[in-house]
């Protein structure tokens, strides 16, 4: 390569790696693996050593990766949140150990910790009380996510005991357990929303949500692993870990103290396979010199400590053969491609299938029938195809093409603008959609019908006993047929029928959620039921009336209007009403305390210290005001809390809409 080409290549690497950093830290949507990123970074570092005159000041080798989002207040770190040097090579660890010995001699210990695959966070405590939570950001400054962090149960709001310092910081990692990720992702898929790729992305996306109430509904966890104080309290890192545990912090129980590098390597080897048994993801092991005095002596480079290093496990990969691609139809009609593979052992389990997400993924991989594919199970819960070995492709292999029609009922598939998924619109005639809808209807969060399970619904459908949700309420007429089913005795039938009868008392919001309208989840159903009070008002609501409801956007409004346009849906609602289901809220009408806010419209945005947004909404309505969701020139007030969205603030400012605090709102109604 010429000098010009070398410089051009280095600049291209800087640009590419900075984009990957942005994807990972800010968007929480990485597009390459950690291993690929680290290899590219190593290549850039080598080139910069050879050609220092061409080093780009924006190079990721000079700064800690990350960025600041605009939605949160930016806070400067008192102690920089540096990244760790890392390696995939055991020899590098031995070299690291040798460098330590040359600097401080042979008398030292290591602390080994699991390297959690989550989102780094720094917590500040004053007089035992949580004052601030800040993300790593660019290492120098990060986003203030205190309101959201306070919803995480394993982050103490008030410390135990009294032997902690008046002011200190503690660093840790926010993450999501795999079972919780699977459950929440399943809910997203059922609502027709794009699923998250892995628990880390879900945790990162959750921690940066604007609504802390929604964050609280998502089960995040947090391990803490490093204490920062102005005055040193302990001689070693290990001592500090034991101490902070007594203060109430969640410390990983798998940390261990190692006397030498051999014990470190043994710890790494022991977790190579055991990590798949954890309920959370780890991508390596962190090794730290134990003594604080020795850490201080070893010091730092520009971007990382010299006394610590991370050994990263390669994502577990294996090659196998794509036997065929099948297509699953969910209860909302979303058609998901699935790769059926020649069975192969990966991460301790036999893998027969891998996710393909959507039609775009098939195109990206350029999949052909019978391809030899590389599958990975790193941060992914479900294995995914990451590459195709085209050298092993047969010359006559046919391209895999996404179907035009539903594989279950033959209806033409549709794809709405701006969405990645294809859908089958035949929700009242497509078998998996029918079964899925009824299974959703009986589920715990919807109608919670005792005596009925997923398999029972499938069996009833296959036997022709049910075709619609309303058919559940006619099963008492078919008790003779029910008795003919295997493993379905008289007691089971009685329990089921009693459960069905009892479900007629479930409130309107549960019935509405149970209908399975796309994008109408549990929270949305509650808001709609509270606002419109009955199904008829909701059916007849215009787009503007729907979007005037707090947190109901255009996509949900369109979905509701489309649903209620369909005569078959209206017929089902009428039949359910005739069976005695609740289609009217039993909420008592709002008791007006005054009319001081009459004919005034409000939007509430952001997080408030003394009140929840729901409490402020009730307060406004109790004094005659009306809550709307979209900003227009007709809006009277924007009630703004911390961390409100910048787009709302900008639009309100342009339209000269008064922006008031919760205190100023109280002044209006005094």
- Return the active site residues: 115
Rg (CA), the chain: 29
Tokens of 31: 């597009």
The whole-angstrom separation of Cα 174 and Cα 367 is: 36
Q: What is the edge-to-edge ordering of all strands in the sheet holding 256-258?
A: 86-87, 308-312, 282-289, 110-116, 256-258
The whole-angstrom separation of Cα 506 and Cα 113 is: 49
The whole-angstrom separation of Cα 347 and Cα 274 is: 10
Q: What are phi and psi of 161, to 5 degrees?
A: 70, -160
Helix then strand then coil, in percent of the chain rounded to 5, is: 40, 20, 40
Tokens of 456: 């029972």
What distance, in Å, lies between the first and last C-alpha atoms of the chain? 76
3-state secondary structure of 514: helix
Tokens of 224: 């803490």
The residues near 391 (Cβ < 8 Å, ≥ 6 apart) are none
DSSP 635-646: --EEEE-BT--H
Strands (E), 469-593: none
The number of C-alpha atoms within 13 Å of 226 and in the hemisphere containing its C-beta is 24
Under a CB-based contact definition with an 8 Å cutoff, are residues 478 and 410 in contact?
no
Q: Is the dihedral of CA 289, 293, 297, 300 positive or negative?
A: positive
Q: Bridge partners of 568?
A: none
Which of 632, 590, 639 has its CA nearest to residue 612?
639
The residues near 4 (Cβ < 8 Å, ≥ 6 apart) are none
């Amino acid at each position: 390569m010429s000098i010009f080409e070398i410089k051009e290549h280095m600049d291209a690497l800087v640009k590419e790696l900075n984009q990957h950093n942005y994807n990972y830290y800010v968007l929480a949507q990485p597009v390459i693996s950690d291993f690929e990123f680290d290899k590219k970074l190593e290549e850039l570092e080598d080139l910069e050593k050879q050609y220092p005159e061409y080093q780009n000041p924006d190079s990721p080798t000079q700064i800690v990766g990350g960025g600041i989002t605009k939605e949160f207040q930016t806070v400067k770190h008192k102690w920089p949140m540096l990244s760790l040097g890392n390696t995939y090579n055991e020899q590098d660890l031995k070299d690291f150990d040798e460098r330590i010995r040359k600097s401080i001699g042979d008398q030292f210990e290591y602390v080994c910790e699991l390297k959690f695959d989550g989102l780094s966070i720094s917590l500040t405590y004053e007089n035992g009380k949580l004052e601030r939570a800040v993300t790593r950001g660019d290492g120098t400054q990060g986003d203030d996510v205190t309101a959201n962090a306070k919803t995480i149960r394993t982050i103490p709001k008030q410390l135990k005991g009294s032997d902690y310092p008046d002011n200190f910081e503690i660093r840790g990692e926010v993450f999501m357990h795999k079972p919780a990720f699977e459950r929440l992702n399943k809910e997203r898929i059922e609502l027709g929303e794009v699923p998250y790729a892995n628990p880390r992305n879900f945790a990162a996306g959750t921690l940066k949500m604007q609504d802390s109430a929604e964050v609280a509904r998502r089960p995040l966890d947090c391990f803490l692993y490093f204490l920062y104080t102005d005055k040193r309290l302990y001689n070693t890192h290990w001592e500090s870990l034991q101490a902070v545990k007594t203060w109430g912090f969640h410390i990983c129980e798998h940390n261990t103290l190692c006397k030498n590098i051999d014990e470190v390597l043994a710890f790494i080897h022991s977790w190579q396979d055991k990590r798949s048994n954890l309920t959370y993801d780890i991508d390596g092991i962190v090794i730290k010199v134990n003594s604080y005095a020795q850490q201080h002596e070893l010091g730092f480079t520009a971007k990382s400590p010299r006394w610590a290093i991370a050994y990263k496990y390669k994502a577990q990969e294996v090659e196998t053969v794509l036997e065929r691609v099948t297509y699953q139809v969910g209860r909302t009609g979303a058609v998901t491609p699935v790769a059926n593979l020649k069975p192969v052992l990966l991460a301790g389990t036999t893998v027969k299938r891998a996710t393909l997400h959507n039609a775009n993924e098939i195109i990206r991989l350029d999949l052909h029938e019978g391809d030899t594919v590389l599958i990975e199970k790193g941060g992914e819960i479900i294995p995914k195809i990451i590459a195709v070995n085209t050298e092993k492709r047969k010359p006559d292999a046919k391209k895999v093409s996404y179907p035009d029609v539903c594989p279950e009922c033959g209806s033409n598939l549709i794809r709405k603008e701006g969405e990645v998924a294809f859908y089958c619109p035949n929700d009242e005639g497509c078998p998996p959609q029918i079964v899925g809808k009824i299974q959703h209807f009986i589920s715990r969060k919807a109608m919670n019908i005792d005596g009925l399970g997923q398999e029972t619904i499938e069996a009833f459908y296959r036997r022709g006993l049910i075709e619609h949700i309303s058919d559940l309420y006619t099963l008492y007429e078919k008790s003779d047929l029910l008795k003919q089913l295997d493993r379905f005795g008289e007691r089971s039938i009685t329990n089921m029928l009693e459960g069905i009868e009892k479900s007629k008392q479930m409130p309107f919001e549960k019935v509405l959620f149970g209908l399975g309208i796309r994008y109408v989840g549990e929270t949305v159903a509650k808001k709609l039921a509270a606002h419109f009070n009955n199904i008829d008002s909701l059916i007849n609501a215009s787009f503007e009336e729907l979007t005037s409801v707090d947190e109901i956007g255009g996509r949900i409004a369109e979905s509701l209007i489309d649903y209620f346009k369909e005569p078959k849906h209206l017929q089902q609602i009428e039949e359910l009403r005739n069976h005695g289901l609740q289609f009217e809220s039993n909420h008592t009408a709002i008791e007006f305390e005054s009319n001081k806010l009459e004919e005034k419209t409000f939007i509430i945005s952001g997080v408030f210290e003394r009140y929840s947004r729901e409490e402020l909404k009730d307060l406004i309505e109790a004094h005659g005001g009306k809550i709307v969701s979209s900003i227009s020139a007709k809006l009277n007030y924007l009630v703004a809390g911390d961390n409100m969205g910048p787009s709302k603030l900008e639009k309100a400012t342009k339209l000269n809409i008064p922006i008031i605090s919760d205190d100023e709102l109280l002044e209006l109604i005094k």
